[in-house]
Amino acid sequence: MARARVEYVCTECGGVAPKWQGRCSACGAWNTLAESVASDPRSSAGAGGQGDRRHALVEASELQALNAIAAEETPRFTSGIEEFDRVLGGGLVPGAVVLIGGDPGIGKSTLLLQSLASIAADSAALYVTGEESTAQVALRARRLGLGESAMPVLAETQLERIAAVLSQHKPRVAVIDSIQTLFTDALPSAPGSVAQVRECAAQLTRIAKRDNLTIILVGHVTKEGQLAGPRVLEHMVDCVLYFEGEAHSAFRLVRAFKNRFGAVNELGVFAMTDRGLRGVTNPSAMFLAQHDRRVPGSCVLVTQEGSRPLLVEIQALVDSAHAPNPRRLSVGLEANRLAMLLAVAHRHAGLVTFDQDVFVNAVGGVRIVEPAADLAVLFAIVSSLRNRPLGADCEGGLAVFGEIGLAGEIRPAPRGQERLREVSKLGFARVIVPRANTPKAGSRGAPEGLEILAVDRVDQALDLAFSR
Ligand code: TYD
Ligand code: MG
């Protein structure tokens, strides 16, 4: 097969250069040029007279009025795993390309094998493995109790051959594990290089759209936490999911980062067992640490992940610093936000921490990005600093949510009612919330038996939490 012409494309701006150079001449970014297959000069519009002549020969595409386009709800089918369906926005969509990223060994292959074996029970599915041998896949399937499945498995890394198998067998769903192992003959570079990854993904996407086939790509994450092939894949596919979780904990979270067919930031919660991944139906109970909650430095946060509220324990340790630069460290929470919170608390509530090391942690390996975690983080910090447990007088336990603004105000969080319902469901007796999130008097929103304390300002919130 003839080698295609190679060009270099900037991963930042898309500028094209015929030769590799250290700096993109279009946008000036350094070290962003990546090898790529040059587009066919006959199909792209060239400059000048030749291009104009070509335009005259090409038939113009048809236009459609927006209101005349038939737009039905996208049909979906189940992946066979309820929690997986949830992150996908309700199931798999025909013709969609889904990318699943995550650290090695976190459970990508396990999840997809379980899902595909379930799909294979009543429709055509194909598992393409580029990393493991078919024997290894079979061994894993036996371990997962899927030894009886007749799902076809293909050990292949050459894109052209995979494409041939796809057009011959016409599966409904194909898993490619992983995109980094594939290579196309059209490119001289090694598998896993940006050019190969991008070209293989582009061709598979074309096949998916053409044959209305769902393709799930497994992608590896680089040391910097990005999908190899710096973000190029994320633009190409319809849905990007990431596996999260700590290696030493059994819990695995699958989060949607991009979804053309559903909501983002939807979260699927799994537990890794000796028989594969199991969906966790009550994740709130799981994220609350097992010990008695009334210890200093601990606060229960009501966070919202996609369509579902979640209770997570936030822990803080504040200890006198022995170096001129006190440490601020956060696990599962944003580090910059922590520094900001300490500044706001100093300015508006007189909380002095410049001579203290501050460590905060979201228990259970969950990553919390929403600002509604602010109040819980601050409470945990103050609780540790003063060595006083939160809600000591409150038998049923205390939970909080709310964002802290730079002016010291407590700002409301979205979906307050749902959060309150979750708190009440898990048996908490008291909750501290932004005033705008309190249910209106007499409305059905207030769960029975839950004491709701509204706060407006950060100093007032601290007084309320630690006065009793
Ligand atoms: P794997 O799915 O191979 O990860 P990835 O494809 O993301 O690299 O994950 C395998 C890990 O999960 C491995 O460390 C062993 C563990 N595991 C179990 O605990 N139980 C099981 O039933 C299986 C199949 C794997
Ligand atoms: Mg794997």
Concatenated DSSP letters of 368-409: ---GGGHHHHHHHHHHHHTT--TTTT-TT-EEE--EE-TTSB
The residue contributing the CA closest to ligand 1 atom 24 is 276
What mean pLDDT is predicted for residues 206-212? 95
Instruction: For residue 176, report the distance from its CA to the centre of ligand 1, in Å.
Output: 17
- pLDDT > 70 fraction of the chain, expressed in percent and rounded: 90
How far apart are the CA of 222 and the centre of ligand 1, in A?
Answer: 19
Q: Per residue in 267-287, pLDDT tens? A: 888 999 988 999 988 888 777
Q: Whose CA is nearest to atom 13 of ligand 1?
A: 105
Which residue ranges have their beta carbon within 6 Å of ligand 1? 102, 104-110, 140, 143-144, 272, 274-276
Statement: residue 46 has pLDDT above 50: no
Short-list 73, 148, 119, 71, CA closest to 216 = 119
**Measuring from atom 15 of ligand 1, which residue has the nearest CA?**
105
Task: Please tell me the distance between residue 308's alpha carbon and the centre of ligand 2 in angstroms.
Answer: 29
Which ligand sits nearest to residue 108's alpha carbon? 1
Confidence band, pLDDT 50/70/90 cuts, at residue 48: very low
Ligand 2: centre distance to CA 399 (Å):
38
Distances in Å between the Cα of 352 and the Cα atoms of 260, 345, 376, 402 are: 46, 8, 18, 22
Which residues are CB-neighbours of 64 under 8 A, at least 6 positions away? none
Q: Is the pTM of this model over 0.85?
A: no
Report d(CA 45, CA 299) in Å as an integer.
61
Considering the chain, what is the average pLDDT of its residues? 87
Q: Which tokens is 386 given?
A: 């003063």
Q: What is the pLDDT of residues 140-175, one digit of tens each?
A: 999 999 989 999 999 999 999 999 999 999 999 999
Confidence of residue 47 (pLDDT cuts 50, 70, 90): very low
Ligand lying nearest the CA atom of residue 251 = 1
CATH architecture of the domain with range 286-466: 2-Layer Sandwich (3.30)
pLDDT tens-digit series, residues 410-431: 999 999 998 998 898 888 899 9
Residue 110 has pLDDT above 90, yes or no: yes
Q: Tokens 């587009």 identify what position?
A: 39
CA-closest residue to ligand 1 atom 25: 276
Residue 385 has pLDDT above 90, yes or no: yes
Domain 82-281 listed as CATH 3.40.50.300: yes
Confidence class of residue 45 from pLDDT cuts 50, 70 and 90? very low
Return the closest-CA partner of residue 219 out of 187, 262, 182, 253: 182
pLDDT of residue 189: 80
Residue to mutate, 272, 275, 278, ligand 1, most ligand atoms under 8 Å from C-beta = 272
* pLDDT mean over 44-58: 53
Task: Please confirm whether the linkage preceding 178 is cis (ω < 30° from 0).
Answer: yes
What is the structure's pLDDT at 459? 95
Which residue's CA is the closest to the ligand 1 atom numbered 2?
A: 107
CB 1 within 8 A of CB 186: yes
Ligand 1 centroid to residue 231 C-alpha, Å: 25
Question: Ligand 2 mean position to 135 CA, how many Å?
Answer: 14
Distance from residue 184's CA to the centre of ligand 2 (Å): 21
Whole-number Å distance, alpha carbon 268 to ligand 2 midpoint, is 19
Higher pLDDT pick, 72 / 156:
156
Ligand nearest to the CA of 244: 1
**In a 3-state reduction of DSSP, which class is residue 457?**
strand
CA-106 nearest atom, ligand 1: 7
What local confidence, expressed as pLDDT, does residue 43 receive? 45
What is the position in ligand 1's atom list of the atom closest to the CA of 102?
7
pLDDT of residue 230: 44
Ligand nearest to the CA of 111: 1
Among 137-146, 242-251, 423-432, 453-462, name the one with the lowest average pLDDT: 242-251
Pocket test for ligand 1, best of 109, 110, 241, 274 (most atoms within 8 A of CB): 110
- Please name the residue whose Cα sits nearest to atom 14 of ligand 1: 105
Stronger pLDDT, 433 or 71, i.e. the higher one = 433
Flag whether pLDDT at 231 surpasses 70. Answer: no
Token pair, residue 67, equals 């209101």
